[in-house]
């Protein structure tokens, strides 16, 4: 590489770049909560909502909304990073950890990947280890309230250590897979894993 490129006359605002190195490269902080999705917001009535774990498991499991509310939930506060460059610090959620969900199934030892699938047809793929050890949740509360439909309610995946398109909105289940497959954005040129700290935005990054 040659000399670093400098944009003539650019100083920058840096207002959000300070707090303890919490902004990944190329991100800027926002105070509001932008909405991004590829199509209309699905609205599934809670009495028809279910959440399933299937695929490479001994016996698939499915919860109704009421049953899901009965699972041990936790409150958690995390920073979220969208591939469209915004980062929102200290977002407050309530939901069930994926660890808790997986206690209800016997995983096939071959299972190494997960496809999260959603109302509206959205999918996203994740390596199983990215969902374990308190790193991932199925969240139904945001900032002390039920999660709003435009933000993925009634429930969405929250995997804060990866770009936020991995935190699938309107999630309805997880399919355990032996081999990795591409989800929706991963088939459209976005990175397979999406680690914001490595700036894995697009395929090939």
Partner 1 sequence: MLNRALEWQIATVAAIRTETARTKTFTLSLPAWVRHLPGQHYDLRLTAQDGYQAQRSYSIASEPEREGEIDLTVESLPGGEVSGYLHDVLVPGDRLEVRGPIGGYFVWEVSRGGPLLLVAGGSGVVPLMSMLRHRRAVGSRVPARLLYSSRTPEDVIYADELMGLQDGGDGLEVIHSYTRSQPAGWTGYARRIDADMLKEIYRPLGGKTQVFICGPTLLVEAAADGLVAAGLAPGRIKTERFGPSGGSA
The residues that touch partner 1, with contacts defined as CB under 8 A, are 4-14, 17, 25-28, 32-42, 84-85, 120-121, 142-143, 148, 150-151, 184-185, 187-189, 201-205
User: Three-state secondary structure along the chain?
Assistant: CCCCCCCCCCCCCCCCCCHHHCCCCCCEECCCCCCCCCCCCCCCCHHHCEEEEEECECCCEEEEHHHHHCCCCEEEEEEEECCCCEEEEEEEEEEEEHHHHHCCCCECCCCCEEEEEEHHHCEEEEEHHHHCCCCCEEEEEECCEECCHHHCCCCEEECCCCCHHHCCCCEEEEEEECCCCCCCCHHHCECCCCCHHHCCCECCC
For residues 75 and 143, which CB has a smaller minimum distance to partner 1 in the complex?
Answer: 143
Q: How far is the CB of 203 from partner 1 (least distance, A)?
A: 5
For residues 3 and 58, which CB has a smaller minimum distance to partner 1 in the complex?
Answer: 3
Q: How far is the CB of 188 from partner 1 (least distance, A)?
A: 4
Q: How far is the CB of 13 from partner 1 (least distance, A)?
A: 4
For residues 89 and 148, which CB has a smaller minimum distance to partner 1 in the complex?
Answer: 148
For residues 63 and 88, which CB has a smaller minimum distance to partner 1 in the complex?
Answer: 88
Q: How far is the CB of 31 from partner 1 (least distance, A)?
A: 9
């Amino acid at each position: 590489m040659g000399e670093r490129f400098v944009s003539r006359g650019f100083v920058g605002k840096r207002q959000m770049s300070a707090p303890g190195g919490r902004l990944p490269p190329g991100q800027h902080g926002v105070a509001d909560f932008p909405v991004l999705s590829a199509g209309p917001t699905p609205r599934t009535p809670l009495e028809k909502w279910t959440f399933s774990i299937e695929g490479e498991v001994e016996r698939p499991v499915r919860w109704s909304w009421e049953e899901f509310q009965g699972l041990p939930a936790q409150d958690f506060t995390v920073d979220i990073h969208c591939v469209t460059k915004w980062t929102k610090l200290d977002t407050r959620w309530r939901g069930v950890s994926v660890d808790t969900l997986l206690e209800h199934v016997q995983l096939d030892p071959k299972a190494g990947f997960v496809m999260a699938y959603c109302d509206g047809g959205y999918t996203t793929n994740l390596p199983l280890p990215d969902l374990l050890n308190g790193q991932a949740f199925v969240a139904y509360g945001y900032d002390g309230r039920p999660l709003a439909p435009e933000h993925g309610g009634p429930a969405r995946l929250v995997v804060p250590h990866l770009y936020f398109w991995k935190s699938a909105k309107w999630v309805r289940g997880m399919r355990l897979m032996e081999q990795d497959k591409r989800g929706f954005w991963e088939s459209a040129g976005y990175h397979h894993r999406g680690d914001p700290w490595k700036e894995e935005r697009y395929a090939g990054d």
